[in-house]
Chain A
Amino acid sequence: MNFGFTEEQNLLRDQVERFMQDSCPITRVREISDAGGFDADLWKQIGELGWLGLLIPEAFGGLGLKWIDQVVVLEAAATGLCPLPMASQALASTAILTCANDDQKSNWLPQLARGEAVYTLGLYDDANWIDPAAITATAKASGDGYVLGGKKPFVNDAGSADYLLLAVQGPNGLALAAVAKDEVRITAQPTMDNTKPMASVDLEDVQIGADRLLPMTAGQLYHLTDCGALAVTAEMVGAGSAMLELTGEYAKQRVQFGKPIGQYQGVKHRLADMYVDLESYRSLCYFAGWCADDDPKELARAVSLAKGYASDAFNQIGIDGVGLHGAIGFTAEYDAQLFLKRSKWARPMFGDSDFHLDRVASLGGL
């Protein structure tokens, strides 16, 4: 029994946090986000550090680590609201490892691991429905390959991706279509949080070769959904903890009625509640991260407990964090609002709290 991190994992966390502070501070985050959410230089550095190939076996050029290590990296990167598509890259690598054949793995994984190509994953086409039936884009047999149809309205990081793995209804059931950015029409969409870019992808009449359709079972789809929810939750741990720190520091310094506002119980108790929720979804997130590789049959429940908690709690941390700052928290110039926006983004991603809590109820026998 050991529910703690190894020395290597703690070093990794420190390294990523330091990278964010030194190379991608919040001023840089704003610049990158305003320019569409990508920075080739930083991406190259991250690739060289090995952080994009954590989940990929060494045989394919990765580090051969586990999702719990990926959780550490995503959490640490999110303390600085990293706008780079690290989570999407990780999910794409899991999708390839889960659904691809050996040739496809050998072709795609090494460049993915080094960050030489940016990948993303698009699953559902309904705005608020986690179900195989919520995938409406299609792939139909055509000549030696397939012709795609329909539209993927909500694809994370599509604007910066070189390759996109997109869920479709294929001739023999669910599948992932692998397309290059030039083969499809990608339209960036303005959203509440521009540190997490989103785009629609029009697939109508796009032709792909036979080796570009990866069969996917419903079980695999749900596994990828769970990994997605885990990635988002890990980012909510990092971002939530940074928001609490930012707000706590402000409460210690801001003086009103002759005292630092952090001395008033009205403020103090809100901060304590933020801490209680943060620590709690943190514990659930780490357990889910461990389940991903070490107890997969528990993953669905563990992820739903974690994301079900974090979705609402992080949103409240964002609201209270901005609120405790007063008017300055509402300004564009101050950083608190960026965390609140991130919480809005995270809430529906890979299932909102209603979806996850209902699944907890079902798995628990109701």
Chain B
Amino acid sequence: MDFDYTAEENAFREEVRRFIDDNLPPKKERDKNFLATWLEKVRAKGWVGFSWPKEFGGSAGGLIEQTILREEMALAKAPPLGTSMMGLAWVGPGIMEYGTEEQKRKFIPDILDSKVTWCTGYSEPNHGSDLAAIQCKAELHGDNYIVNGQKIWTTGAPWSQWIILLTRTQFDVASKHDGITCLLVPMDAPGVEVRPIENMAGDKHFAEIFFTDVEVPVEHRLGAEGDGWKVTVSALANERSSIGEVTQMFAKLENLKELVKSTKKQGKPAHEDPGVRRKVAQFEMKIAAMKYNGLRYLTKQIKGEPLSSETSVNKLHRASLEIEMDDFAVELTGQAGLQLRGGEDAVDGGTWSKSALNWPNVVIGGGTPNIQRNIIAERLLGMPKD
């Protein structure tokens, strides 16, 4: 057990810090070309798709360097390393694992260069948590699949150019996990209609998508026909340690402490209130637990032991912490906490109130807490399936 880094790892951390110092001006000084320049520079550094194999344009970076990179970027509150979050997180890895040579050549560079943004077509009106029960139909006619059906709650759909789409190619199957096929579809294909949905925070980040006789060439199928479930599961398993998120949550905790220090409750400084102190300490306790859970899982990965479903532990922590920290800040600041940006007494520019309205974003996306609990109970504790 040791928490030290090697000389090479420390040198890499220094390199990242220097790069950030040189290329990340304070928010006020950033002009409209800033993001494009930033993306170009991190790409030139080889830090986009950092862990991806070199043959695909990645850097084949190690797990620890990857952790350091994420940690430093999160500490500096840097913009993302690419605009296609889902492309980098699972579409790219999925294509590298299951794609044809042509698909790799066609899609991977654009993900790395932030030229194409991907969204993920999983949930349907009647099938969310029960993902394998999807009904969106794809029928092979000649060299094309004809897709008919509907997706919903698709995050990023209003601005994405491509979608990784789970369809059903076979309805008469022994198990609902069979007969699912994964297709890669351009969002501007004839017959694709996107209707943005406003969420409770007032944003239009997700949408419903209608597919009417959409033709998808067979060469845009990812993996074999009927193998869509396998492709999905292994793509989602590409998630790495949650170190970057933990760093962001520590930063949020620091903001919360500043808020506590500048707030009065019942006319007295809030930081003297035992209940307030205990609550803030519990946030720190859980974020620290996420950090050390993450380091234990990272150590397992470095030793070459496959991760099972342990990452669900930190997902559950994160889901509840995000809600509780925002709600705590709103409640602590009383009626001023209710005000949104623009309000005369809005707290911290309305960040807490806005974030409190946005929590389902973090909590429901990628598996609800109850699904995470099922995963832990069934896969780690051996409970019989539902």
> A interface vs B, CB < 8 Å?
1-6, 68, 244, 248, 251-252, 259-260, 262-263, 265, 267-269, 271-273, 275-276, 279-281, 283-284, 286-287, 290, 294-295, 305, 308-309, 354, 357-358, 360-361, 364-366
Q: Which residue of A lies closest to B316 (CB)?
A: A276
Q: In this complex, what residue of B is CB-closest to A290? A: B1
B317 x A280 contact (CB < 8 A): yes
DSSP majority for the B interface? helix
A366-B261, A366-B271 known; 14 new pairs, CB 8 Å cut-off, are: A1-B2, A1-B9, A3-B298, A248-B383, A268-B383, A272-B381, A273-B373, A284-B288, A286-B292, A309-B286, A358-B278, A361-B271, A366-B260, A366-B280
Q: CB distance B373 to A262 under 8 Å?
A: no
Cβ-defined partner of A268 (8 Å) among B271, B278, B377: B377
What's the nearest-Cβ distance from chain B to residue A168, in Å?
31
- Whether A275 lies near B380 (C-beta < 8 A) is yes
B232-248 interface code vs A (CB 8 A; 1 in, 0 out) = 00000000000000000
Question: Is B299 an interface residue, CB under 8 A from the partner?
Answer: yes
Interface: B293 (CB within 8 A): yes
Partner of A3, one of B1, B281, B386: B1
User: Which 4 A-B pairs have CB atoms at the shortest separation, nearest pair first?
Assistant: A280-B289, A283-B292, A272-B373, A357-B281
- Using a CB-CB cutoff of 8 Å, which residues 61-83 of chain B contact chain A? 64, 67
Point out the residues of chain A lying under 8 angstroms from B2, CB to CB: 1-2, 290, 294
Proximity bits, B258-281, A CB within 8 Å = 1, else 0: 001100000000010010011011
Contacts of A272 in B (CB 8 A): 316, 372-374, 376-377, 381
Q: Report whether B303 and A4 are in contact in the complex, using a CB–CB cutoff of 8 Å.
A: yes
In the assembled complex, the Cα of A364 lies from the Cα of B254 at a distance in Å of 9
- CB interface residues, B 339-370, toward A, < 8 Å: 370
> In the assembled complex, which residues on chain A have CB atoms less than 8 Å from the CB atom of B292?
3, 283-284, 286-287
Q: At the interface, is chain A mostly helix, strand, loop or mixed? A: helix
Q: How far is the CA of A204 from the CA of B266 in the complex (A)?
A: 48
Contacting pair B278 A263 (CB below 8 A): no
Q: Is the CB of B285 within 8 A of A284?
A: yes
Complex CA distance for A280 and B313, rounded to whole angstroms: 8
User: Which of A1, A252, A263 is within 8 Å of B64, CB to CB?
Assistant: A1
Interface residues contributed by chain B, number (CB under 8 Å): 51
Cα distance A68–B299 in the bound complex, in angstroms: 17
Q: Give A68 to B3 CA distance when docked, in angstroms.
A: 14
Task: Find out whether the CB atom of B3 lies under 8 angstroms from the CB atom of A1.
Answer: yes
Determine the distance from Cα of A48 to Cα of B359 in the docked complex, in whole angstroms. 56
- B383 near A262 (CB under 8 angstroms)? yes
- B384, A361: Cβ atoms under 8 Å? no
In whole Å, how far is B240's beta carbon from the nearest beta carbon of chain A?
15
Query: Could you tell me if B310 and A1 are in contact, using CB atoms closer than 8 angstroms?
Result: no
A252 to B381, CA, bound (A): 10
- Across the interface, do A276 and B313 meet the contact criterion of CB distance under 8 Å? yes
Q: How far is the CA of A279 from the CA of B311 in the complex (A)?
A: 11
Closest chain A CB from B273 CB (angstroms): 10
